[in-house]
Chains A and B, each alone.
Chain A
């Protein structure tokens, strides 16, 4: 039978319909119905100056809101052929990594909630709150920060702020291994996570899985390696695993938090003095730019006429990861509970994914699967 889950369901944070084909308790295959959160952001952005569009890019996704504005700003800087001052680059890395920590902690907490492990769920959220405080201290907001502008960042960080962030991060580093061990050594958590929702490397490549989901399946790829600031000034190593199951994905995120903590320490210790913003002329042209969001690769393609945005296309990581989940992970899962846990382990973010909606003439929504056969008039 077909078991529909969602769009409003205790297991899901966001609206999405999972159709699980089941045989008894066993899940044979899954299909995903999108389209509940399509707001038409790209269309709204067209014909606007960057000042009027950058806050829209922030609201593509509330969880990884920071990286969207950074990628947006860096695309414009690429068109102008300029680099922002070094202090601004360091501050961008600092905020990006703080954002990554809170996003990964939230993702793991959601996974533990899906496993009904309330204790770890609460511990993860308790760890996350100080990081949110650090973000608020630095940028002034908890979620949508409004921190990036084309040419740098909006305001300078004070020494006292950096000191407080360092304290928060040191505390986090001290407490955090205990909870990783709870997950790593917990026998029941291991039973529910290991060998559940497996995706092989070949399947991950076929499904174009990115970010921690792709890396957990053996694709050693992180766009931060190619980013000029990370590449030239900072030391870090890409975390990856081979197993491709729920356990690997969750552990991959845990380990990436360690890397982020290390990066934040490097940034605060080595941050140079100087300006945080410079004037960047908006030139006519086209550029694309990619960055590593907490969930994987996010890319912006922007065409301007020297003042207004003429065309913009945003590609977010979640769409590939959710598709990978439906096609390859939710095949022959032992129970429905495991299927929901597998879905949560992919760290789905529906607000990101809704880039396009296909409507036929009568106004009915069409399946996205037929998009390749669609004739555009």
Chain B
């Protein structure tokens, strides 16, 4: 009972954790721009607080540097079920410009954790990030919650 009630609430109140696994920061500042009054993330029930332990959606940016290989898996296990991973920007998808000879990146992110949605762009526009979170998160969280039962 409590569990299903929680699932209903979580589908309309999404907590987001942003993990930069070694990017240029561009995607991160576009997420910060999402908080601005123009895009106003919070009116859609999305709250960015960067705490993996209470996150429903994990936004991953960056091309997974050496330091992050193990830590990324660990952080993923710390987030409570059901959880959704959204890969943001070209870096977590392909490694982008860093994935060349000499670069020390281990992209894509999907090698380490399951990714539910991918947003390409370098960086993607704030409205695209918002659309990606909204297109995948509420429904997917509710569905995963039902699966659990």
A93 interface contact, C-beta 8 A: no
A10 interface contact, C-beta 8 A: yes
Interface segment, A81-89, A121-129, A224-232, A324-332? Answer: A121-129
Assess A9 versus B28: contact at CB under 8 Å? Given A39-B103, A41-B98: no
A284 interface contact, C-beta 8 A: no
Q: Is the CB of A125 within 8 A of B35?
A: yes
* Residue from B17, B32, B37, B104 in contact with A39 in the complex, judged by beta carbons closer than 8 Å: B104
Q: Is the CB of A44 within 8 A of B101?
A: yes
* Residue from B24, B49, B75 in contact with A10 in the complex, judged by beta carbons closer than 8 Å: B49
Kindly report which residue of chain A lies nearest to residue B58, judged by CB atoms: A8
Measured between alpha carbons, how far is A7 from B75 in the docked complex, in Å?
A: 11
Q: Is the CB of A44 within 8 A of B28?
A: no
Q: Is the CB of B36 within 8 A of A351?
A: no
Kindly report which residue of chain A lies nearest to residue B52, judged by CB atoms: A8
Could you say which residues of chain B place their CB within 8 Å of the CB of A142? 30, 123, 125
What is the CB-to-nearest-CB distance from A204 to chain B, in angstroms, rounded to a whole number?
Answer: 25
Measured between alpha carbons, how far is A59 from B91 in the docked complex, in Å?
A: 11
What is the CB-to-nearest-CB distance from B119 to chain A, in angstroms, rounded to a whole number?
Answer: 14
Task: Report how many residues on chain A are interfacial, defined by Cβ distance under 8 Å.
Answer: 45
B84 interface contact, C-beta 8 A: no
Assess A13 versus B28: contact at CB under 8 Å? Given A44-B103, A129-B38: yes
* Contacts across chains A and B counted by CB atoms under 8 Å: 136
Q: Is the CB of A55 within 8 A of B67?
A: no
* Residue from B25, B102, B123 in contact with A349 in the complex, judged by beta carbons closer than 8 Å: B25
What is the CB-to-nearest-CB distance from B58 to chain A, in angstroms, rounded to a whole number?
Answer: 10
Q: Is the CB of B105 within 8 A of A122?
A: no
Could you say which residues of chain B place their CB within 8 Å of the CB of A15? 19-22, 68
Measured between alpha carbons, how far is A261 from B75 in the docked complex, in Å?
A: 43
Could you say which residues of chain A place their CB within 8 Å of the CB of B24? 58-62, 65, 144, 351
Measured between alpha carbons, how far is A129 from B50 in the docked complex, in Å?
A: 23
B43 interface contact, C-beta 8 A: no
What is the CB-to-nearest-CB distance from B35 to chain A, in angstroms, rounded to a whole number?
Answer: 6
Mask, A98-124, CB within 8 Å of B = 1, is: 000000001001100000000000100
Could you say which residues of chain B place their CB within 8 Å of the CB of A58? 24
Q: Is the CB of A14 within 8 A of B28?
A: yes
B122 interface contact, C-beta 8 A: yes
A201 interface contact, C-beta 8 A: no
Interface segment, A30-38, A72-80, A247-255, A369-377? Answer: A30-38
Mask, A285-320, CB within 8 Å of B = 1, is: 000000000000000000000000000000000000
Measured between alpha carbons, how far is A59 from B68 in the docked complex, in Å?
A: 19
Assess A35 versus B67: contact at CB under 8 Å? Given A13-B32, A59-B26, A126-B37: yes
24 cross-chain CB contacts under 8 A = A10-B50, A15-B20, A15-B68, A37-B23, A39-B105, A40-B98, A41-B103, A43-B103, A44-B98, A55-B97, A56-B97, A56-B98, A58-B24, A62-B27, A63-B29, A122-B37, A128-B33, A129-B33, A129-B36, A132-B33, A142-B125, A143-B30, A349-B25, A350-B25
B residues near A, CB below 8 A? Answer: 17-30, 32-33, 35-38, 49-52, 62-63, 65-68, 71, 75, 96-98, 100-105, 122-123, 125
Q: What are the 3 tightest A-B residue pairs by CB atom distance, in nearest-first order?
A: A62-B26, A125-B36, A62-B25
